[in-house]
């Protein structure tokens, strides 16, 4: 029987198996150091980026990919990521298709098999540098060491209380909870040839550029819009507002469902149409919103889109996105759509979208943010997420009306 890798199981395995493995590999590295292991001179010829986590993180990493190409134009860039995130990477167009290593994390058996195959491929490719972009896992640091790359860049707690990920990262980057994740990933690039303690002291402040808009042919957008109207004729002649009420793998990130009911009813009363988006598993949740709204102009689009590209085509058609913190808010940066994004368990200071057309609701309570690199994104909250509950439907409806009446483009609030 296959064992599914849900987030609780992943955390348990990462803790129970990851700690001793990281300790063992650290001891091996200390022995190699005593025996005089040599780190080759830069610049590197072949670089591996490990970025396993959520799809939205790939969008936030776009400036890092650009910087690597600028700093090492002759280097071959490769990436390791979970297979389910591959489509977003391909849309960004930052890594050649043949240079992508994927891991299937749908079950323990698949994960183990793909991991062994990936390690074999990494060793054969003889990487000069590996950049481990993960904050919350030990498995990525283990992959970085087993890749065989002599230069290993990754987040390290130094004197902080962060997760133990071994002592074999020889270009340790200090995790900074006060800097946006995109800026921290840029520091990874600076760390490759840095010898300061901690690394990247010589890196000057850099403005993070917005990623380029995803290009669509007009015929493709017209075809998708025509199909949308054929499937949901009630959406014709209405401005469409998309809402994403799911918290994904972290339900604590979700704005209360009752607030979504009030918000959607207010927008429906203004004459807008509502499309409730989400993955296939979110269809029951989306249907709850539809049934509570009791309007033919509120439709269930969860699981409707066949791909991320299809979803982004809908973003090009819609007038506004209202979403919990998660993938849709990050994907919006690849389209012109204005977005309203709810934060609380996590903070826009670290994870705001790279869109220039996003607005953030954040209560900033004394306990917020509670999902951090220091607790494996395991919140101490009892489920009463006041950081989100204190954001009222009236506040959001007022901002939504302001954005919708202003039209595109908007400005950051």
CB half-sphere exposure, 408, CA atoms < 13 A: 16
Tell whether 42 is covered by a domain.
yes
Which pLDDT does position 40 carry in this prediction? 59
Tell whether 4 is covered by a domain.
no
Which pLDDT does position 1 carry in this prediction? 39
Please say whether the beta carbons of 255 and 245 come within 8 A: yes
Tell whether 204 is covered by a domain.
no
On whether both 104 and 238 belong to a single domain, the answer is no
Distance CA 281, CA 371 (A): 24
On whether both 158 and 27 belong to a single domain, the answer is yes
Respond yes or no on whether the N-terminal peptide bond of residue 408 is cis (omega within 30° of 0).
Answer: no
Which pLDDT does position 205 carry in this prediction? 61
Host domain of residue 72: 12-191
Helix or strand holding residue 398 (H, E): helix 393-406
On whether both 147 and 102 belong to a single domain, the answer is yes
Tell whether 2 is covered by a domain.
no
Q: Which of 132, 129, 131, 168 is nearest to 149 (CA)?
A: 129
Q: Among all chains, which residue has been given the structure tokens 């010898």?
A: 195
Tell whether 400 is covered by a domain.
yes
On whether both 127 and 222 belong to a single domain, the answer is no
> Residue-wise pLDDT tens for the chain (413 aa)?
344 566 777 777 787 788 888 888 888 888 887 766 656 556 899 999 999 978 889 999 999 999 999 999 999 999 999 999 999 999 999 999 999 999 998 888 999 999 999 999 999 999 999 999 998 788 999 999 999 999 999 998 887 777 788 889 999 999 888 899 999 999 999 999 988 888 988 776 667 778 999 999 999 999 999 999 999 999 998 999 999 999 988 899 999 999 999 999 999 999 999 999 999 999 999 999 999 999 999 999 999 999 999 999 999 999 999 999 999 999 999 999 999 999 999 999 999 999 989 999 998 899 999 988 778 788 889 889 999 999 999 999 999 999 999 875 433 33
Please say whether the beta carbons of 315 and 321 come within 8 A: yes
Which token pair is 222? 């017209």
Which pLDDT does position 39 carry in this prediction? 61
The DSSP-derived string for 337-378 is --EEEEESSS-HHHH--S-SSEEEEE---TT-----TTTTT-
Distance CA 326, CA 343 (A): 9
Please say whether the beta carbons of 293 and 270 come within 8 A: no
Tell whether 79 is covered by a domain.
yes
Q: Which of 69, 51, 71, 47 is nearest to 60 (CA)?
A: 51
Distance CA 167, CA 30 (A): 9
Q: Among all chains, which residue has been given the structure tokens 């609701």?
A: 361
Tell whether 286 is covered by a domain.
yes
Strand partners, 80: 50, 101
On whether both 109 and 238 belong to a single domain, the answer is no
On whether both 148 and 239 belong to a single domain, the answer is no
Number of folded domains that form the chain:
2
Q: What is the CATH number of the domain that holds 312?
A: 3.40.50.2000
On whether both 136 and 229 belong to a single domain, the answer is no
On whether both 346 and 242 belong to a single domain, the answer is yes
Distance CA 315, CA 355 (A): 13
On whether both 113 and 167 belong to a single domain, the answer is yes
Listed in sequence order, the DSSP H helices in 275-333 are: 283-293, 308-317, 327-331
Q: Which of 262, 204, 210 is nearest to 400 (CA)?
A: 262
Respond yes or no on whether the N-terminal peptide bond of residue 192 is cis (omega within 30° of 0).
Answer: no
Which token pair is 391? 């954001």
Distance CA 292, CA 264 (A): 10
On whether both 110 and 233 belong to a single domain, the answer is no
CA distances from 22 to 15, 140, 141, 312, 373 (A): 10, 10, 8, 39, 17
Q: What is the 3-state secondary structure (H, E, C) of 123-189?
A: HHHCCCEEEECCCCCCHHHHHHHHCCCCEEEEEECCCCCCCCCCCCCCEEEECCCCCCHHHHHHHHH
């Amino acid at each position: 029987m296959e064992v599914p890798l849900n987030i609780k199981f992943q955390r348990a395995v990462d803790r129970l198996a990851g700690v001793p493995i990281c300790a063992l590999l650290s001891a091996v590295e200390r022995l190699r150091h005593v025996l005089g292991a040599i780190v080759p001179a830069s610049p590197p010829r072949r670089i591996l980026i490990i970025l396993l986590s959520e799809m939205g993180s790939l969008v936030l990493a776009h400036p890092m990919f650009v910087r690597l190409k600028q700093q090492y134009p002759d280097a071959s860039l490769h990436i390791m990521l979970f297979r389910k995130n591959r489509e977003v990477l391909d849309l960004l167009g930052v890594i050649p298709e043949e240079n992508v290593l994927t891991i299937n994390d749908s079950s323990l058996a698949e994960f183990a098999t793909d991991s062994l195959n990936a390690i074999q491929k990494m060793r054969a490719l003889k990487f000069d540098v590996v950049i481990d972009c993960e904050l919350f896992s030990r498995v990525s640091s283990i992959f970085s060491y087993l890749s065989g790359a002599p230069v290993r860049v990754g987040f390290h707690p130094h004197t902080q209380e962060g997760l133990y990920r071994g002592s074999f990262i020889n270009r340790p980057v200090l995790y900074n909870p006060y800097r946006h994740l995109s800026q921290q990933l840029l520091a990874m690039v600076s760390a490759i040839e840095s010898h300061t303690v901690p690394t990247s002291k010589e890196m000057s402040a850099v403005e993070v550029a917005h990623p380029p808009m995803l290009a669509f042919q007009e015929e493709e957008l017209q075809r998708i819009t025509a199909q949308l109207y054929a499937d949901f004729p009630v959406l014709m002649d209405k401005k469409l507002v998309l809402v994403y009420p799911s918290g994904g793998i972290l339900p604590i990130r979700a704005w209360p469902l009752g607030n979504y009911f009030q918000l959607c009813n207010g927008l429906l009363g203004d004459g807008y149409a509502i499309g409730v988006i989400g993955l296939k598993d979110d269809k029951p949740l989306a249907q709850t919103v539809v049934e509570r709204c009791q309007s033919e102009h509120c439709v269930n689009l969860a699981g409707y889109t066949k791909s991320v590209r299809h979803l982004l085509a809908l973003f090009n058609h819609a007038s506004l996105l209202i979403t919990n913190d998660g993938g849709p808010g990050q994907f919006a940066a690849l389209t012109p759509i204005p977005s309203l994004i709810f934060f609380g368990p996590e903070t826009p200071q670290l994870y705001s979208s790279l869109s220039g057309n996003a607005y953030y609701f954040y209560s900033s309570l004394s306990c917020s943010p509670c999902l951090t690199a220091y607790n494996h994104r395991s919140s101490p909250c009892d489920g009463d997420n006041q950081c989100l509950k204190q954001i009222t439907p009236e506040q959001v409806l007022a901002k939504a009306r302001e954005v919708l009446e202003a039209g595109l483009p908007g400005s950051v609030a």
